[in-house]
Structure formats: C-alpha cells, structure tokens
Structure 1
Amino acid sequence: MAWSPLDAMEAYMHTLHLCKEFNTNDDHTRGGSGLMEPKCMEFISALAAGNRARLLLNVECGGFSPLTLALAVAARHGGGRLVCIRADQQDARDIEKHTERFDLGDVSEIETGEPREVVKRYEDVEFAVVDRNVEGCVDALSGIKVNPCGGVVVVSNIALEERGEEEEEGTLYARVVKSRGGDIESVVLPICGGLEVTKMGRFRGGRGRRHPPRRSGKTFLVYE
C-alpha cells in the first residue's frame, strides 16, 4: 500500500464538503451507527484513499451513514470499490438511494446477509471498517481476508468508557489476528466513540519511492 498524499488530500476535502451537505439534510440515514463527528469521517476517508485501497468493506448497523459516505469517497479517489455489508434489505435500499444521490453509486455495491458470513466472500481486502455494535462483530472481524501485501482494519464505536480494561488497550481486532503472526501494529484513537486502527503487512510497490511510516507518539498513520 503505497501512500499517496494527493489522493488523501482530495478525499479529505471531498468528504468535508459532502458531510456538510449530508448533515444539513433532514433525510439522513435509517438507523446508522451514529458516527457524525466530521473530523473522524475526513480522517478515515483520507487514510483509505491515501493508501489507495482497492477493496474496502463497510460493516455497520443501519443504513447509509457519514462513515459510508467517507469510504465511498475514498474509493472514488483511491481507485477502489466499496462493499457495504448489511443484515437488512431496507438498510441496503437506503444506502443505494444515498450513494446515487451523492454520485458515488458507481464505486459502491451492497451485500445483504449475516456480516460474519458475507465478509468471507471477499479476498485481498485492503481497508475495512467494522462497527463494534454489529451482531457477531468478533466473528466478522475474524472472517476478513486481508490482502497479504498489506491492509488496514478499523473497529469503530469501541466506546472506551464502557469496555473492559483489555479492550481499552485497543486489542479487540489485534487480539483476533495476533495468532496469525506477521507485521501487525495497532493504535486506539479517541474519536468516533473510540477507533481501533490496525495495520497489517508491508507496503507494496507503488508510485514514487517508498518510505517507512513516520511516527508521532503511538500513531503510525502519516506517510510521505
């Protein structure tokens, strides 16, 4: 996953613009995950687009949300496609309506069914966001087949103040994949009700020279 600053910046600005439009419209999402914090959406979109993720998964409760919007924008600017996985057909229709409204339907598709089963259909996932509140969340995380060349998995709504000490350390997904070995780094960010961001694998060749991650404290998410 070769970092592209241009794609990250364009996705950030596009998400900023569309989230403002989305949040001022009364006809929001059906249910949704409640993720409405603008900086969180822009961060996730820039992270996914900057890594030029080709296959992105969005696993949430409810219909279209700002997070779905952010990932669809990332797919647009990073040259990828977004698969939205929902358990309910009505939620799927809500996503279809809104992705078409924001001219993102061509980079988005929707799969319905039990998330823990649907995620197994996809291989070489390069960016996934899974809502902690999804039924069978841990099983869904276990079923994600990350690209062996590298990928990022984000767990949203981990609700640090409500979880046990072990999860407060940001080990929810990292614990799932720890036994598999390999290059794994994880960090917890206090945004969007708590985000656990886990990076796996090495970066594949891409445009320009590859650089190691530039660290800022425990954060590995800024690249050149």
Structure 2
Amino acid sequence: MKLVWSPETASKAYLDTVKSCEVFQEPSVAEVVSAMAAGWNAGLVVETWSRGGEIATSVGLAVAAHHTGGRHVCIVLDEESREEYAEGMRQFGRSACEMIVGDAEEAMDGLEGIDFLVVDCKGNNDEFGRVIRAAKLGERGAVLVCKNASSRGGSDCRWSSVLDGRSRVVRSVFLPVGKGLDIAHVGAKGGRTGGGKGRSRWIKRFDQDSGEEVVIRK
C-alpha cells in the first residue's frame, strides 16, 4: 500500500482551515499543510512546536486530523511551551491535541507509523535532521515538511542527505509560503528511518480528553 491523494478531502480541510484561521487572502502555511495532510489521508500527524511559534499551522493540522479521523500529536520542549500552545489553541476555539513534553528526537521513539511530519527548522538544520532521522515513518510512506525553511531551499539532494539514504525521496518541492516550506514525499517503507541512542531523558505525555499524564524515561 501507499499514500493515496484525495482532492475532495484536501479541499474540505483547506476551506475549514481558512474559516478557522480567518485568513481570506493568499494561502498561508496553515491552509497548505492542512490540505496536504488531509489529502494524503494521514492517520498519524506529528508536529514540533516551540514557544512563540505560529499556532495557525497547528489549527490546520487539527482540522486535517478531524477530516481523516487521524491522530494529531504535538511535541514541545517544556511545560511553559505546553501551556502556551494549549492557550493558543483555545484562542482559536480548539482543544490542544495529544501532547508530548520532551526532546523531539527522543520523543520519536514512542511514535510508530508517522504519515505526516511537520518540523520547525528555524535555521537549525542539525536538529531538523536528527528529528527526521529518528522518526518511525508509516509503511505507506510519508510526507515530511520543514517549516521556516528559507535557509534550506528544496531539492531531492538535500532531503536524501537528511534521510541518509534510508528512505527513497519520491519527490520534493520548496514553496515560498510563509518563511518557506520544504516538502518531501518519501516512498513506502516500514520501520525506522534512523536515529540512535542518546542521553536518557524524561518525557511526559498528555491526553487532552482524559487529562491523564504519563511520565516515561527514554
């Protein structure tokens, strides 16, 4: 099996994100990633988010997950980030998704079968590469998105270097949306794309529906 594009679902998610974010001019990052995640029928959508970051993109991913019936997970570094993210989502009239508090690279250990991954680059290509290589991508393939990617540009060569040859890049594109979106569609392949053992860390998971908190050591 492989990811199959659904224009109808993509269109619905795009329009719902426009309404939710009240952006009625040129397309923003939120609408683009929402349409893509929904159009590829992503079952597991994962994003990384840092304090002061844009919330609209997260709203778009939440909309996409609603349309696909998928799981939306956000990884934040610390408690302050978690609280800021949750408050930002509330301002858009949405509950925060499932959240993981801890190092993004380490958090990937507990996430199997990622279909759609959004990582905030912010000029830190080393951190971006470590997170991508640690991700356990879905058997159907996956769509990888580097947000704030103006410094990266877009090419198969760059993505192949990040993936270290462990996943085949089907196609890639750089979109001048927001501060740049570098996007790659990688082919179907089960298992881990890379990663390795690092320092042991505590990671907390929050289920926003039940309020349950789970603390695990990686």
**Shorter-chain-normalised TM-score: which range?**
0.7 to 0.9
Q: Aligned AA for 2:153? A: E
Aligned-partner Cα distance in 2 for 1:194–1:61:
17
Q: Which of 145, 162, 176 is residue 190 of structure 1 equivalent to?
A: 176
Judged with a 3 Å threshold, the aligned counterparts in structure 2 of structure 1 residues 172 and 110 are, in CA distance, closer, same or farther, namely: farther
Residue matched to 1:123: 112
Residue matched to 2:195: none
Aligned-partner Cα distance in 2 for 1:140–1:41:
21
Residue matched to 1:47: 36
- How far has the Cα of 1:115 moved from its partner? 1.0
**Match runs of 1:57-206 below 5 Å:** 57-62=46-51, 65-100=55-90, 102=92, 104-105=94-95, 108-133=97-122, 136-159=127-150, 163=151, 167-170=152-155, 171-182=157-168, 184-202=170-188
Judged with a 3 Å threshold, the aligned counterparts in structure 2 of structure 1 residues 75 and 181 are, in CA distance, closer, same or farther, namely: closer
Q: Aligned AA for 2:180? A: G
Aligned-partner Cα distance in 2 for 1:68–1:85:
11
Q: Aligned AA for 2:127? A: G
Q: Summarize deviations over 1:68-124 as a string: whole Å, max 9, x none.
A: 111111111111111000102122122223445545438x21111011111222110
Q: So what's the TM-score if we normalise by structure 1?
A: 0.72
- How far has the Cα of 1:187 moved from its partner? 1.4
Q: So what's the TM-score if we normalise by structure 2?
A: 0.74
Q: Tell me if 1:10 matches 2:12.
A: yes
Structure 1 stretches of 4+ moved >6 Å = none
- How far has the Cα of 1:191 moved from its partner? 1.4
Aligned-partner Cα distance in 1 for 2:28–2:92:
19
Aligned-partner Cα distance in 2 for 1:169–1:175:
12
Aligned-partner Cα distance in 2 for 1:183–1:194:
19
Segments of 5+ residues of structure 1 without an aligned counterpart are: 24-36, 204-224
Structure 2 counterpart SS, 1:125: coil
Structure 2 counterpart SS, 1:180: coil
Q: How many residues get paired? A: 182
**Match runs of 1:20-39 below 5 Å:** 20=22, 38-39=27-28
Aligned-partner Cα distance in 2 for 1:44–1:6:
15
Judged with a 3 Å threshold, the aligned counterparts in structure 2 of structure 1 residues 169 and 2 are, in CA distance, closer, same or farther, namely: closer
Aligned-pair identity in percent equals 30
- How far has the Cα of 1:152 moved from its partner? 0.3
Structure 2 counterpart SS, 1:136: helix
Tell me if structure 1 keeps the 8 A contact 2:5–2:39.
Answer: yes
Q: Please give the root-mean-square deviation of Cα atoms over the aligned residues, in Å.
A: 2.5
- How far has the Cα of 1:16 moved from its partner? 0.2
Q: Aligned AA for 1:6? A: E
